[in-house]
């Protein structure tokens, strides 16, 4: 029973393509997040949704668009992929902050060629 | 601008000894601090946390110490076990966002 799952686990694609990464959590949490871990291993928040509403939108190119169809899902769409988008993308979820810890998915390794 | 810093990229400790992982932060508005452990090809998993109003929290072999005046926290693992070998991330929270350090890779040798 995976608490936070992401698909696909690996994604290799060409520059200029559009791709999506899906995230689902079965923990009943209200808040979901997307993080990016770049080649320097920094883990940075990109977006956060609480009850399907966007509450954090860090300085991320508008080629990245999160979509939350319901509380249990937060998908990440990336348009016109660039080489610099190559990274590991982690989805996470939590109950309403600030007390609750965040639970992470296994990550999606994106390689843009 | 990196608000959470882990200045030691790696640490090697013998099994049975104490592992001490350090973390410094710059933003005094952080109200909650967490340590996550990460194995290769997996997501970070929560290990232990501490509120900014406390100076120590203990959970089994893991203890986190917070020194607010120095803006410093540390994670102590005692005794260290080979299964503790992983990357440890320090994180600090404001509101909904976690700010992570770069991680320290811990190797516990038999």
Domain extents for chain B? 4-109
| Residue A13 touches chain B, beta carbons under 8 Å | no
In a domain, A111, yes or no: no
Kindly indicate the confidence band of residue B96, based on its pLDDT and cuts at 50, 70 and 90: confident
> What is the number of CB-based contacts under 8 A between chain A and chain B?
54
Is there a contact between A31 and A97 (Cβ–Cβ < 8 Å)?
A: yes
Neighbouring C-alpha atoms within 13 Å toward the C-beta of B106: 28
**Domain topology for B4-109:** Immunoglobulin-like (2.60.40)
CA A85 – CA A14 distance, rounded (Å): 11
Token duo for residue A14: 């060409």
- Minimal Cα–Cα distance from A17 to chain B, Å? 25
In a domain, A46, yes or no: yes
Strand order from edge to edge, sheet including A19-25: A4-7, A19-25, A73-78, A64-70
CB contact under 8 A, B98 and A41: no
Residues from chain A that touch B100, judged by Cβ atoms under 8 A, are 42-44
Closest CA to B36 of A10, A9, A94: A94
- Over residues A35-48, the mean pLDDT reads 88
pLDDT for the residue A53: 82
CATH of the domain at A40: 2.60.40.10
The set of residues, in sequence order, having a beta carbon less than 8 Å from that of B1 and lying 6+ positions away, is none
- Over residues A88-103, the mean pLDDT reads 84
Kindly indicate the confidence band of residue B98, based on its pLDDT and cuts at 50, 70 and 90: confident
| Residue A30 touches chain B, beta carbons under 8 Å | no
For A50-102, give the DSSP string.
ETTEEEEE-S--TTEEEEEEETTEEEEEE-S--GGG-EEEEEEEESSTTTSPP
pLDDT for the residue A51: 80
- Domain membership of residue A57 as a residue range: 4-104
User: Torsions phi, psi of B43, nearest 5?
Assistant: -80, 160
In a domain, A110, yes or no: no
Is there a contact between A35 and A44 (Cβ–Cβ < 8 Å)?
A: yes
User: What are the tens digits of pLDDT across the range B63-93?
Assistant: 999 999 999 999 999 999 999 999 999 999 9
Highest mean pLDDT among A35-39, A46-50, B24-28: B24-28
Within 93-112 of A, beta carbons closer than 8 Å to B belong to 97-99, 101-107
Say whether B29 sits in a helix, a strand or coil: coil
In a domain, A79, yes or no: yes
Is there a contact between B82 and B27 (Cβ–Cβ < 8 Å)?
A: no
User: What are the tens digits of pLDDT across the range B5-35?
Assistant: 999 999 999 999 999 999 999 999 998 999 9
Higher pLDDT, A71 or A18: A18
pLDDT at A98 over 60: no
In a domain, A109, yes or no: no
* Number of structural domains chain A divides into: 1
User: Torsions phi, psi of B46, nearest 5?
Assistant: -65, 140
pLDDT for the residue A1: 62
CA B30 – CA B49 distance, rounded (Å): 13
């Amino acid at each position: 029973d995976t608490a936070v799952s992401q698909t696909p686990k690996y994604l290799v694609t060409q520059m200029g393509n559009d791709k999506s990464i899906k995230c689902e959590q079965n923990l009943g949490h209200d808040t979901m997040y997307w993080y990016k871990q770049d080649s320097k291993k920094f883990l940075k928040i990109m977006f956060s949704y609480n009850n399907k509403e966007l509450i954090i939108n860090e300085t991320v190119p508008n080629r990245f668009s999160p979509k939350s169809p319901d509380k249990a899902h937060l998908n990440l769409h990336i348009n016109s992929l660039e080489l610099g988008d190559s990274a590991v993308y982690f989805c996470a979820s939590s109950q309403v902050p600030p007390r609750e810890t965040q639970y992470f998915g296994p990550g999606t390794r994106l390689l843009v060629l | 601008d990196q608000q959470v810093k882990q200045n030691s990229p790696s640490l090697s400790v013998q099994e049975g000894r104490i592992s001490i992982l350090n973390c410094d932060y710059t933003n005094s508005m952080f109200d909650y601090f967490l340590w996550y452990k990460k194995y290769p090809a997996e997501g970070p998993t929560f290990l232990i946390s501490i509120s900014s109003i406390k100076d120590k929290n203990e959970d089994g072999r893991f203890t986190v110490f917070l020194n607010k005046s120095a803006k410093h926290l540390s994670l102590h693992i005692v005794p260290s076990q080979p299964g503790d070998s992983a990357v440890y991330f320090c994180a600090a929270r404001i509101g909904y966002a976690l700010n992570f350090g770069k991680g320290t890779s811990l190797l516990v040798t038999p």
